[in-house]
């Protein structure tokens, strides 16, 4: 795998530099990269989507596992670098991983087809949350997500009922998936070093998916948490009969995933 010096050299040779607007912080610590790849438990021939491959450090680790890699890169300069370095060893997708409506882009969907696959990526921070939720809700063939994200986002994914960090992201992640923390990564493991600590997490789809419309449930949760400071009785109206075990003086953040699903299935909310 590439060292930090090699990453710097590859960029300098092409007159490139990390771009803040794309959230480019290159993970160069080999131990952390291997920990992420090992968590994905890849076998030869497994299909992997990598979003934001940068100079290809993680890509090299995935190819060492004999994975089939689809790499999506929005930065044209880095996309050219990836093409020149890896050629037909990977399938390169140029452009944003997300299309209008925060749906997985058509080129990526076409490249994946009906295959089972995993996401393994050092995710650009601005793409992390919408991409993770999109895959959980709309891509049943995604067998798991193994990603590097901001620690703050990881804490939201793991927030329990009553926690201040609890919100739509964590609720959707734990309703439709199983979230595990792989480990934390200090800023010094990246270049440029971000001012925040990062975390590696895995999100695997639940073996028994809840019987509800995921996208409608996501809209319901977003609307509900837009009024998170209000009591449920105030949100739905005092005359509304809430499901058994849910008190109208409660606020949304104290509800369990199961209670939120019951609320969604029994109470109209616009």
DSSP state of 230: S
pLDDT tens, residue by residue, 91-124? 999 999 999 889 999 999 999 999 999 999 999 8
pLDDT value at 1 more than 90: no
pLDDT tens, residue by residue, 243-261? 999 999 999 999 999 999 9
Strands 47-51 and 68-73: parallel
Residue 137: pLDDT band with limits 50, 70, 90? very high
pLDDT tens, residue by residue, 173-191? 999 999 999 999 999 999 9
217-255 core/surface letters (b: 16 or more CB in 10 A; e: else):
bbebbeebbeeeeeebeebbeeeeebeeebeeeebbbeb
Domain 214-266 in this protein, CATH class:
mainly alpha
Whole-structure pTM over 0.75, yes or no? yes
Please tell me the CATH code under which domain 4-205 is placed. Answer: 3.40.50.150
Domains of the chain, by residue range, sit at: 4-205, 214-266
């Amino acid at each position: 795998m590439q060292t930090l010096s090699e990453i710097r050299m590859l960029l300098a040779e092409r007159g490139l530099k990390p771009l803040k607007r794309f959230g480019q912080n290159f993970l160069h610590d080999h131990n952390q990269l291997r920990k992420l790849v090992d968590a994905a438990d890849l076998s030869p021939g497994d299909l992997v989507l990598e979003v934001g491959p940068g100079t290809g450090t993680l890509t090299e680790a995935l190819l060492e596992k004999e994975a089939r890699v689809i790499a999506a890169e929005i930065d044209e300069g880095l996309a050219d670098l990836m093409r020149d370095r890896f050629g037909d060893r990977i399938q390169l997708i140029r452009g944003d991983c997300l299309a209008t409506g925060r749906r997985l882009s058509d080129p990526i969907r076409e490249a994946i087809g009906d295959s089972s696959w995993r996401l393994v990526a050092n995710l650009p921070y601005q793409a992390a949350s919408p991409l993770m939720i999109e895959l959980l809700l709309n891509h049943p063939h995604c067998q798991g997500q193994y990603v590097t994200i901001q620690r703050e986002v990881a804490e939201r994914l793991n927030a329990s009922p009553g926690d201040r960090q609890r919100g739509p992201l964590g609720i959707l992640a734990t309703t439709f998936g199983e979230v595990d923390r792989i480990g934390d990564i200090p800023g010094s493991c990246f270049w440029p070093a971000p001012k925040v600590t990062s975390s590696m997490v895995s999100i695997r789809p639940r073996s028994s998916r809840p019987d509800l419309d995921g996208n409608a449930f996501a809209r319901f949760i977003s609307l509900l948490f837009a009024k998170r400071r209000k009591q449920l009785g105030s949100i739905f109206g005092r005359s509304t009969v809430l499901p058994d075990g849910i008190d109208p003086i409660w606020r949304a953040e104290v509800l369990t995933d199961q209670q939120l699903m019951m609320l969604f299935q029994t109470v109209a909310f616009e």
